[in-house]
Amino acid sequence: MSDRAMPQRAQRAIAECRRIAGMSEEVGGTTRRFLTPPVREVHALLHGRMEAIGMNVSVDAAGNLRGRWHPPAGRSKRLIIGSHIDTVPNAGAFDGILGVTLALECAEIAQELKLPLPIEIIAFSEEEGVRFGVPFIGSRAAAGRFDPALLKLKDADGATLDDAIRAFGLDPGGIEKAAIDEDALGFLEVHIEQGPVLEAEGLQVAAVTAIVGQTRHILTWTGHANHAGTTPMHLRRDALAGAAEWIVAVESLAQRTDGLVATVGHVDVEPNAGNVIAGAVRVSLDVRHADDAARKSAVDALLAQAETIAARRGLALQCARQMDQPAVPMDERLTAFLAEATEAAGLPVKLMPSGAGHDAMVMASRVPTAMLFLRSPGGLSHHPDETVLEEDVAAALGVCRKFLERLAAEVG
């Protein structure tokens, strides 16, 4: 098979993503939550594509669509490739679903090259956490990490997760059987970067080294609300001024620390009136780094600085941790294969962490996992204008081809 076929494959993968974008809960936009009616349309299209390339197709009890292909003289262990088919509200056409349409192309490439490498494609039913407030329902089930307590979760209409699964014609009692078996040698997810790094560096693809760890806190600053005109500056206990000083310190530390991102994205001010000194302010803190020790050190420093600022300004401070998610490294061997494949495809090798969570972070707990990013024009994602470049999709497919050849040679 010639590399000249890659542009045609890229065109088909992109066209399928755009077609699937029209399978939505709303007209004129793309919203597709866990096991809502449009998911049946997506399943029907992908089911047809899987069957057309000789795959055995099934839907597990968590709603994951799965296709398996075993070459005539193939090895027993298979490579799993996939991503998710659900979306955020008013989404773009490529987040998640591109990884599924590219998985289909990878299966065809393996067939045409007559590689002795069995392949399974998984179109995960849920990753975004929109309908039930908890992400990764599909990959949790596939990784054997599904907690049955999740079945009691309710959506905005009062339907439970159990209800949603049964309404789709599935039996939630069978979710345990969705866990992948020991015959899986690894998992590969291809995904748009959803950020600006590759574009800024003029690169098309990157091998992901780890999915960063994340810590979230809510900090409540309490001072004293009072009249803006009659309270002298030296007698104020302005909660907003204290929080603002600290927010600038958060940005400053992140700018000085390699690989760290730190964000204060939400501020709630009381009484939030133009002529009243702020009496209380609640702010969020989101800190991420691929190295857990670096992340913990940054969080400790920022919380200590908040205490210092509050004490100096006569403010009370409360800190409540909401999340402390460790970093998830990708498999070193498979990541090295991706780097070798990138070089063999004639592209510069770029290794980078992922600042966002993906199904790969869940699957890594079950099987060796690798992830390939491709460029996001404008760094834009979770937005209707999200797009990809045909040449980048073709480049990603070229890397995938070399990766499949390398992996087949290793296990052959």
d(CA 14, CA 143): 28
The domain in which residue 189 lies consists of: 3-211+327-411
> Could you give the count of Cα atoms lying within 13 Å of 51 in the half-sphere of its Cβ?
8
Q: Are residue 235 and residue 261 in the same domain, yes or no? A: yes
What is the spatial distance between Cα 53 and Cα 36, in angstroms, rounded to a whole number? 27
Would the pLDDT of 74 be above 90?
no
149 and 30 share a domain? yes
pLDDT level of residue 412 (50, 70, 90 thresholds): low
408: left (phi over 0), alpha (psi -120 to 50) or beta: alpha
Domain boundary among the residues 275, 296, 325 is at 325
DSSP 175-194: GGGGS--TTEEEEEEEEE--
What is the secondary structure of 330-397 as a DSSP string? PPHHHHHHHHHHHHHTT----EEEESS--HHHHHTTTS-EEEEEE--GGG--SSTT----HHHHHHHH
User: Are 107 and 225 in the same domain?
Assistant: no
* Long-range pairs of 265-269 with CB within 8 A, sequence gap ≥ 24: 267/243, 269/239, 269/240
Helix (H) or strand (E) holding 76: none
- Residue 64: pLDDT band (50, 70, 90) is very high
Decide if 122 contacts 62 (C-beta within 8 A): no
* Same structural domain, 275 and 301: yes
pLDDT in tens, 144-198: 999 999 999 999 999 999 999 999 999 999 999 999 998 999 999 999 999 999 9
The span from the first CA to the last CA of the chain, in angstroms, equals 20
Is residue 45 located within the same domain as residue 147? yes
Determine the average pLDDT of the residues in 388-405. Answer: 98
57-77 mean pLDDT: 92
User: Does 174 share its domain with 293?
Assistant: no
Both 54 and 18 in one domain: the answer is yes
411 pLDDT band, cuts 50/70/90, is: confident
Same domain, 10 and 83: yes
Whether 240 and 297 share a structural domain: yes
**Can you tell me which residue has the tokens 């009616």?**
37
> Can you list the pairs that 243-251 forms with residues at least 24 positions away whose Cβ atoms lie under 8 Å?
243/219, 243/267, 243/281, 243/283, 245/309, 245/313, 246/219, 246/283, 246/302, 246/305, 246/306, 246/309, 247/283, 249/302, 249/305, 249/309, 250/285, 250/302
Which of 91, 92, 110 is CA-nearest to residue 102?
110
Do 154 and 27 belong to one domain?
yes
Q: Does residue 342 share a domain with residue 301?
A: no
Total structural domains in the chain? 2
Which pLDDT score, from 0 to 100, does residue 356 have? 92
Alpha carbon of residue 143 to chain centroid: 16
Per-residue pLDDT, averaged over 389-401, amounts to: 98
Decide if 404 contacts 110 (C-beta within 8 A).
Answer: yes
Asked if 292 and 326 count as a contact pair (C-beta separation under 8 A), the reply is: yes
Phi-psi region of 272 (alpha: psi -120 to 50; beta: other; left: phi over 0): left
CATH number at residue 109: 3.40.630.10
What CATH number corresponds to the domain at position 283? 3.30.70.360
Give residue-wise pLDDT tens across range 106-138: 999 999 999 999 999 999 999 999 999 999 999
Using CB atoms within 10 A of its CB, is residue 14 exposed (0-12), middle (13-18) or buried (19+)? buried
Residue that terminates a domain, selected from 325, 340, 357: 325
| Closest by CA position to 131, among listed 54, 32, 251, 245 | 32
Residues 205 and 309 in one domain: no
